[in-house]
Structure 1
Amino acid sequence: MSGPAVSPLRIGNASGFYGDRFDALSEMLTGGELDVLTGDYLAELTMLILGRDRLKDPGAGYARTFLRQLEDCLGLAQERSVKIVTNAGGLNPAGLADAVRKLAERLGIPVRVAHVEGDDLTAAHPGSLAAHAYLGGFGIAACLREGAEVVVTGRVTDAALVTGPAAAHFGWGPGEYDRLAGAVVAGHVLECGTQATGGNYAFFAEHGIQQLRRPGFPLAEIHEDGSSVITKHDGSGGFVDVGTVTAQLLYETGGARYAGPDVTARLDTVRLSRAGDDRVRIEGVRGEAPPPTLKVGLNWLGGFRNEVVFVLTGLDIEAKAALVRDQMSDALAKSAAGEVRWDLVRSDRADAGTEETASALLRLVVRDPDQEVVGRALSGAAIELALASYPGFHVLAPPGKSAPYGVFEDVYVPHGAVGHVAVLHDGRRIPVPPPHESRPLEAVSDEPSALPEPLPSGSTRRAPLGLVAGARSGDKGGNANVGVWVRSDDAWRWLVHELTVERFQQLLPETRSLDVTRHVLPNLRALNFVAEGILGAGVAAQHRFDPQAKALGEWLRSRHLEIPETLL
């Protein structure tokens, strides 16, 4: 068990993805007090990008942006005694750790740099570009306990960047599931940076543009019992309230059991409350033993793709689309491309005041394992129609060279299949044992035993769902989730009975042929829907218009249904 009570741990985050705000590291170090500063640089697509980098240069494979940020900030972190923990190591954490040491030596700053390895299982999956297990936080904790000031990891869970420092600070052991689960929830809120401080927020219009112009990055004050307060540096932009934290809790999650390598956090036990201006308390989180297996993300080169977008303007849009599809059919048949997809986007409107708003887009995408096949399918055929097709013929851009696309797949291996190791600044290697117990992951019933009573019947008005409900959506491989929440008990009484799977599929017709699961989270007044397979083989395959399902929730909010007038 934990020892005597110690002070809360202040953990900030300065990156939600590879390419996030470059100045955030400096902003977080100068904006207020911190104990630990994290940076999350990895996503499914990022691993593919880094894998392609490594093909060109075996010494690459990490987020080079982090090094450039650190050049300006390493001395500042040392002066303020802020430890830095990042997964920017990507596919090559040892390489990035060495690069940080060389940078520190060049700058004349003594710093202890450690890294975590063991996630790379590429050799066990021949043909994959990158295969990496999602490790937990105890490798990070081992590095920090042994005095590391900068810890670099490869593929760990996003929340591990927070659970590791918390476990080191408070002395938590592997079995302290409630504490670990509380840190996982805090880590999940921090991991996407400014999404917790007003970025990408459903109810953004209720706040001034100036407030949202440059949201500050979030931080968590984590307590020994695993509870936390989410906040931001005083004077930074954006805002933190129960809504922004709820939205981020729902982002890219599934059911009530949120599984990780160290603990399974029960999202249905999370309690949120306002703790002051820009302060939200998270408490009550319960944890369970983790599943017996680790998730492994596999990235493959799926083949090559090319596309052309025809612009159809004015009258007879459907007939124009039919003509160009027929004209392209011979060339497409001759190419024998493996996949041909047409999408007509009716962005046009009648009697439009501008040419652009009078136009629809007809998108043709061709995929095949053979690069030459993809090139033959589009290279000349589309452009040869320039003077021989529908009136007003033009394209957004000529077909370019075909580009490779990736495929993401997740598989599972026993914990013992990875060699999780903390590699210290002095070269010592500390093995991190697998969990001493596990619990098979089981779904919590999608309906609580006692739902609240429905609202009494009364007058309704047909209106957009988004007038009463917020939403946030995202991707997990080929699946997408849409979290929907409301801000009052009466709205919850209506939503939980109205927004069934059947209603969800009616509102989002693209999901009607898919398996959709609904999860109920009463403490958050939220529903979470998972639509399986809507993203095909994942973001890199660009299966649909919105390949990461970032706006799927906003589409749902825009759909009209009968809403009780008392809620409007």
Structure 2
Amino acid sequence: MAGDSRNDERGTRPVRIANCSGGQMEPGWQMRKQCELGPIDFVTGDWLAENNIAQEAAAMDAGKSEGFKPNSWQALQLSMDVIAKKGIKVIINGGALGPQNLAKRCQELIDEKGYDLNVAYVSGDNIVSRVRSSLKDRGKLPDSFIDMSGRNHEDAKFTADEILASTAYIGARAIVKGLENGADIIICGRVADASPIIGAAWWWFGWSDTDYDRLAGAFLTGHIIECSAYASGSNFSGFNRFPLETFIDSGFPIAEVEKDGSCVITKHKGTGGMVTEETVKCQFLYEIQGNVYLNSDVKAILDHVEIHQEGKDRVRFSNIKGRPPPPTTKLAIFFQGGYEAQSLANFAGYSSRRKYKLYETQIRQRLKEMNLSDAFDILEFQVVGSPKPNPHYMMESTTYTRIFAQAKKPEPLSALKLLLADNTQQKPSGLHWAQDMRTADPKSFYVYYPCIMPQDEIEEAVHLLEKGGKTKQTIPVTRPPGPNVNCGLFTDRPEIWEWFRSFLTLDRMKKLIGADWKDDFKIERVEFPTIFAVHFVVYGILGRGVSSSTLLDNRGKGFTDYIRAKHVDVPKKFVDAGWTWEEQDDFQDASYDGKGF
């Protein structure tokens, strides 16, 4: 292969790892762009999240899926020629519940085109058979599984027949074994999000499994780039201070990992977006667990993290310390939760709260008359938005109610949809709907139950394929003996730091959360003084999480922006110094007609 000379440079320079996906909808052509636009040694991709594992399991049960994520296969098909030509190695988790099937597809393509590439896949994360057997034989989960909430599995109210999937988060050891034995493409299932990046750097430099500082650095490097463009301009809370054109097509990130585990975050020249201290800080604070971040292969200590701009679109990320890994790892269990539906109704004009109250009272009264009041596990009437007084176009006075319902059977939900239609002529004034009412139809949903299991109970292995797709070698891997939201906030001025850190207390965060706060929620708080940041984890606010959450923002993606929209008192000297900014509300512009920008 033209790119084989890269292996001669292994360990003598930083390894360039480009990430091409941060979610299941990421298009395949992003992999090809990362491979084509400049020199890289590895391309990695993360297509998995908790909810789409359950989706894939349901699709497999229905005979509509081979278990892997379709967009990951699309990416490999679009990129295989340039991967072969340039000698780029590939590590992705797009195998989901069928990594062996995706690996065989790759081998078929390689055989057809005559590429000189070796394929492998990782196993051991899928433990659904063990979970089902324990529930069937003993009526409970294995004794070694630990309830993350400390409730002794009181919420584990599911049977063996209801289980859809169960996957353990495994580390990078099988990836490293595959690379050591000549694999060029490694297809994984539920490895931890950062594991492909850890595995690439681990193999490149030949680290040992006790090089904890180096492994921790690679772990946090993976954390920075695994959400694709989140590190290079997308989802960036400071976007409003830059021209909008900057972020129309953000280039995906590349990590140049050095032998000590530190790295430089960058991107291909000529691509959109930006890589700055602020974009990297935003992604660093996204979904961490406080100042100690756990992974299957290492425990990362974040107290003294350093993030510094080295040049245009080049940010050095360093000073992560490592400790031995925990003996346990996260386990995700998914079961059939029943059925859910939502109906959206809009109101325009005055007295909107009274209109919503009347509408809810009408619906609940009808349900009572039909003996359906107790037919729902959840029935919520949520009001979204507040109308603007004295509006100058209709959209300013329009808000909506979201009726969210869940039930064990679909019939109550179908009855609710019919009831809403029957009530049309008795509605409060100003009520109107969109044309498409399909969200009111019952659809199945899945519940995510997180817990912890011992790592030494996982039978992890990597399997290398030969021409024709058969397994030629299986190498076992040996090891040494849930729902929350993250909110990371930082200031870019050292002069503000002491006030900022003393202002953002646990009690202050509860007050900022406002009416959404409940006393059974818990908050963790940690400071990062070297980057002037405070990070919070709010436990319980997402309910059962993701597809089974009743919240409109069921992944917590808008939570931090909601907190940042709060008005707070600041010292007058900050205002006098020009260190504050006033939000420019697009809706204050009288020339805006509500029909688009």
Indicate whether the TM-score tops 0.5.
yes
**What is residue 507 of structure 1 aligned with on the other side?**
512
Q: How does 1:15-164 map to 2 (within 5 A)?
A: 15-57=21-63, 60-126=66-132, 127-164=162-199
Distance 1:110 1:322, change over 3 A: same
- Tell me which residue corresponds to 1:492: 497
Cα shift at 1:73: 1.2
Deviation at 1:109, TM superposition (A): 2.2
181-190 or 58-67, which deviates more: 58-67
| Distance in 1, Cα, partners of 2:323 & 2:256 | 23
CA distance, structure 1, for counterparts of residue 460 and residue 77 of structure 2: 29
Which one-letter code corresponds to 2:178 in the other structure? Answer: C
- Residues 292-336 of structure 1: CA deviation (Å, up to 9, x unaligned): 111111122211111212222212212212221121113433222
- Residue by residue, what CA displacement relative to the aligned partner does 1:18-41 show, whole Å, maximum 9, x if unpaired? 111432111111111000000110
1:489–1:204 Cα change, 3 Å? same
Residues 308-323 of structure 1: pairs in structure 2 closer than 5 A: 308-323=343-358
Choose which of 9, 16, 37 in structure 2 pairs with 1:10. 16
Identity rate of aligned residues, in percent?
Answer: 29
Asked whether the 8 Å contact 2:231–2:283 carries over to 1, the reply is: yes
**Residue 560 of structure 1: SS of its match in structure 2?**
coil
- For residue 406 of structure 1, the aligned residue among 446, 450, 460 is 446
The residue aligned with 2:306 is 271
Distance in 2 between residues matched to 1:19 and 1:59, nearest whole Å: 16
Q: 1-side partners of 2:57 and 2:333: how far apart?
A: 11
**CA separation of 1:318/1:59 partners in 2, compared to 1, >3 Å: closer, same or farther?**
closer
CA shift, 1:5, in A, is 5.7
Aligned equivalent of 1:433: 478
Partner residue, 2:433: 395
- Tell me what 1:346 maps to: 385
Which shows bigger deviation, 319-328 or 147-156?
A: 319-328
Q: Is the 8 A contact 2:328 2:455 kept in 1?
A: yes
Could you tell me how far apart the structure 1 residues matched to 2:170 and 2:95 are? 13
Q: Let me know the Cα RMSD of the aligned residues.
A: 1.7
Q: In structure 1, what is the equivalent of residue 274 of structure 2?
A: 239
Query: Are 1:260 and 1:291, in contact at CA under 8 Å, matched by a contact in 2?
Result: yes
Please tell me the residue identity of whatever aligns with 2:339.
F
Q: In structure 1, how many angstroms separate the alpha carbons of the residues matched to 2:204 and 2:75?
A: 26
Equivalent position SS for 2:426: coil
Q: Which amino acid aligns with 2:49?
A: A
- How far residue 4 of structure 1 moved from its aligned partner, in angstroms, is 10
Residues 205-244 of structure 1 aligned to structure 2 (within 5 Å) = 205-244=240-279
Structure 1 residues 398-407 or 237-246, which shifts more? 398-407
Report the alpha carbon displacement of residue 512 of structure 1 after superposing the two structures with TM. 4.7
Q: Distance in 2 between matches of 1:321 and 1:277?
A: 52
Which residue in 2 is equivalent to 1:360?
399
**Other-structure match for 2:550:** 543
1:552 paired with 2:559, answer yes
Render the CA deviation track for 1:192-238: whole Å, top value 9, x for unaligned: 00000011101112222222111111011111111111111111111
Query: How far does the alpha carbon of each residue in 1:344-366 deviate from its partner, in whole angstroms, 9 at most, with x for none?
Result: 22331122122222122122111
Alpha-carbon distance in structure 2 between the residues aligned to 1:110 and 1:81: 9
Q: How far is 1:388 from its partner?
A: 1.4
Per-residue deviation, 1:379? 2.4
**Which amino acid letter does the alignment assign opposite residue 31 of structure 2?**
L
Q: 2:67 and 2:199 mapped to 1: Cα distance?
A: 23
Mean Cα deviation higher: 151-160 or 356-365: 356-365
Cα distance in structure 2, aligned partners of 1:511 and 1:243:
29
- How far is 1:59 from its partner? 5.6
CA distance in 2: counterparts of 1:31 and 1:491, whole angstroms: 41
In the alignment, structure 2 segments of 5+ residues that lack a partner are 1-8, 133-161, 467-471, 581-597
Q: State the one-letter code of the partner of 1:479.
A: N
Assess if the C-alpha contact under 8 Å between 2:341 and 2:406 holds in 1.
yes
TM-score, normalised to structure 2, is 0.85
Alignment check: 8 A CA contact 2:107 2:465 kept: no
User: Cα 1:512–1:505, aligned 2, differ >3 Å: closer, same or farther?
Assistant: farther
CA deviation digits over 1:452-501, x for unaligned, max 9?
xxxxxxxxxxxxxxxxxxxxxxxxx4211111111121222111000111
Q: Give the Cα–Cα distance (whole angstroms) in 2 for the partners of residues 391 and 72 of structure 1.
A: 54
Secondary structure of residue in 1 paired with 2:344: strand
- Give the Cα–Cα distance (whole angstroms) in 2 for the partners of residues 341 and 301 of structure 1: 21
Work out whether 1:337 is the aligned partner of 2:372.
no
- Is 1:181 the counterpart of 2:216? The answer is yes
**For structure 1, which runs of at least 5 residues remain unmatched after alignment?**
437-476
